[in-house]
């Protein structure tokens, strides 16, 4: 079987909807109309019509909302092979689909439709889990932050604001506020860790660092987070995380360290010999003298 026959078989039996369109342009070169010249069976199923009703009819008459929603994206397709992908509710069949469009040459483009029903169900379940997780953590005494990444906005929970002394009246803020509160000595490390997780290089995000309260003082905290929503091509859309106040634990740890250093200095600098016995009267520590 030659390559042309194989490509024809692929076109016919591909599980995704495929539609080859000829393009009509205005005198200025912008796309005025896309008309199907070939469609496969899967595309007919998505469109809810047989191929005899699809071929030769302008695309905007076949998929009512498709052309309106995608027309603005066509202007970005200048070069051969450039494409755009988006998710939309397909009319008139009321089905969520992922749409990919790309030019084959100046006069032809390909439209690919992929059923997104399972993806949306899984995403809804993930969002529900994320919101339940955030609610339960709030009850455990941790603050919660919810980052809408494309919008560059972040929502702080009531407990989050309480830990950092932020006014409860404050609503969603610019995501710069979160970064701006991180101590200058740790901001680079924390930012890199968040960036790596957002890019999908790590399974989750965890860092211990200092954050500035509204009073101007710094508190030791542990921030954790996980991206719970991504686009089909992997771009992060939403990340939910927690804020745990560790300042008290940190103060105790630092006090113990200082006490240990003081006792060690006192012990080693004595002019007399010192030794420490355990409960079994075994000598386990002596000074240099």
Render pLDDT for 68-118 as a digit per residue (tens, 0 to 9).
656 655 655 555 555 666 666 666 666 777 777 777 777 888 888 877 765
For residue 284, tell me if it sits in a domain: no
Please tell me which of 104-118, 130-144, 216-230 the model is most confident about, judged by mean pLDDT: 216-230
pLDDT tens for each residue of 2-46: 667 777 888 888 888 889 888 888 787 777 788 999 999 999 988
Residue ranges of alpha helices (H) inside the chain are 3-13, 41-47, 51-54, 59-62, 64-74, 117-139, 158-164, 176-181, 187-198, 247-268
Query: pLDDT confidence of 125, banded at 50, 70, 90?
Result: low
Q: Who wins on pLDDT, 254 or 172?
A: 172
Nearest in space to 240 (alpha carbons), one of 215, 204, 278: 204
Query: pLDDT confidence of 59, banded at 50, 70, 90?
Result: confident
How far is it, in rounded angstroms, from Cα 66 to Cα 205?
38
Query: pLDDT confidence of 126, banded at 50, 70, 90?
Result: very low
Shared-domain flag, residues 235 and 124: yes
* Percent of the chain at pLDDT exceeding 90: 18
Paired strand residues for 113: 17, 99
Domain C-terminal end among 115, 143, 165: 115
Average pLDDT of span 178-204: 91
Shared-domain flag, residues 132 and 99: no
pLDDT given for residue 82 in this prediction: 59
Number of domains in the chain: 2
| pTM for the predicted model, two decimal places | 0.49
Query: pLDDT confidence of 147, banded at 50, 70, 90?
Result: very high
Given a cut of 70, whether residue 288 has pLDDT beyond it is: no
Shared-domain flag, residues 133 and 201: yes
Shared-domain flag, residues 109 and 132: no
Q: Who wins on pLDDT, 202 or 259?
A: 202
pLDDT given for residue 135 in this prediction: 53
How far is it, in rounded angstroms, from Cα 88 to Cα 210?
42
Paired strand residues for 205: 225
CA dihedral 81, 86, 92, 93 (to 10 degrees): 100
pLDDT given for residue 120 in this prediction: 56
Shared-domain flag, residues 72 and 158: no
CATH code of the domain in which 68 resides: 3.30.450.20
Q: Who wins on pLDDT, 192 or 125?
A: 192
For 62, the domain range is 3-115
Q: What is the mean pLDDT of the chain?
A: 77
Given a cut of 90, whether residue 222 has pLDDT beyond it is: no
């Amino acid at each position: 079987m030659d390559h042309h026959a194989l490509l024809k078989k692929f076109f016919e039996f591909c599980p995704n909807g495929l539609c080859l369109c000829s393009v009509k342009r205005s005198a200025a070169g912008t796309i005025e109309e896309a008309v199907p010249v070939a469609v496969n069976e899967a595309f007919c199923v998505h469109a809810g019509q047989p191929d005899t009703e699809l071929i030769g009819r302008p695309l905007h008459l076949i998929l009512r909302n498709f052309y309106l929603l995608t027309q603005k994206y066509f202007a970005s397709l200048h070069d051969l092979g450039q494409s755009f992908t988006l998710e939309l509710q397909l009319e008139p069949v009321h089905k969520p689909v992922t749409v990919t469009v790309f030019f084959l040459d100046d006069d032809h483009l390909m439209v690919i439709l992929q059923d997104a029903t399972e993806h949306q169900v899984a995403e809804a379940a993930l969002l529900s889990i994320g919101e339940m997780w955030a609610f339960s953590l709030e009850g455990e005494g941790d603050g919660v932050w919810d980052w809408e990444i494309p919008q560059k906005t972040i929502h702080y929970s009531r407990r989050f604001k309480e830990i950092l002394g932020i006014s409860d009246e404050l609503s969603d803020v610019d995501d710069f506020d979160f970064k701006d509160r991180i101590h200058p000595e740790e901001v680079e490390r924390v930012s890199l860790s968040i960036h790596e997780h957002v890019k999908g290089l790590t399974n989750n995000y965890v860092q211990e660092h200092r954050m500035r309260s509204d009073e101007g003082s710094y508190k030791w905290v542990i921030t954790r987070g996980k991206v719970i929503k991504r686009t089909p091509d992997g771009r992060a859309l939403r990340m939910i995380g927690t804020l745990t106040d560790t300042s008290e634990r940190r103060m105790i740890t630092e006090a113990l360290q200082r006490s240990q250093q003081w006792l060690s200095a006192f012990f080693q600098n004595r002019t007399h010999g010192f030794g420490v016995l355990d409960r079994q009267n075994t000598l386990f520590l002596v000074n240099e003298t």
